[in-house]
Amino acid sequence: MTMEEIIGFVENLEGVLAVRPGPGDGSPEISWGDTFFFYAPDGVMPQATQPFATIVTKNQPGDERSRLDRPDTFRVNVAAGKEAFIDWTGHAPREPATDDDPGVTDAVIAHPVYGSVGWLAVVNPGRRTDAAVRELLRDAHHLARARHERRTGSMTSSR
């Protein structure tokens, strides 16, 4: 899966706003080249909401072990929720994680920084994780939509 394939897939989900920071838009340079996915059915950047998924293209402070500085390397991060997190990792988000290699490619792992809050990650999704990444992204979108509906009291069309 390429970054563009993933971005296209997520943008085709109902109510998604994909934010792609870059030079001249006022965003911090460390975010340039990354993509942030929000459930925003009105197309307006939410002010008090975290993205439900991201794509990062470089090491972040405190996350150098992911080795995203390798050529053509990126990581998909997904707010998977507790149940999916347990299904994929075998433990609850707040429980101590195994010593996974956060730089391993084409494998679903606990996010190296945000795993404790139920985020999963995949570096360079490929043949082994293509279907899983799509399912995780659909499910994270569904969770984000449900949170939005609870906050706003609105109902949108079903999946």
Helices (H), the chain: 3-11, 82-89, 130-152
* Nearest Cα to Cα of residue 38 among 29, 28, 30, 48: 48
pLDDT of 1-28, one tens digit each? 999 999 999 999 999 999 999 999 999 9
pLDDT of 148-159, one tens digit each? 999 988 765 544
Tokens (6 digits) for 30: 């460390």
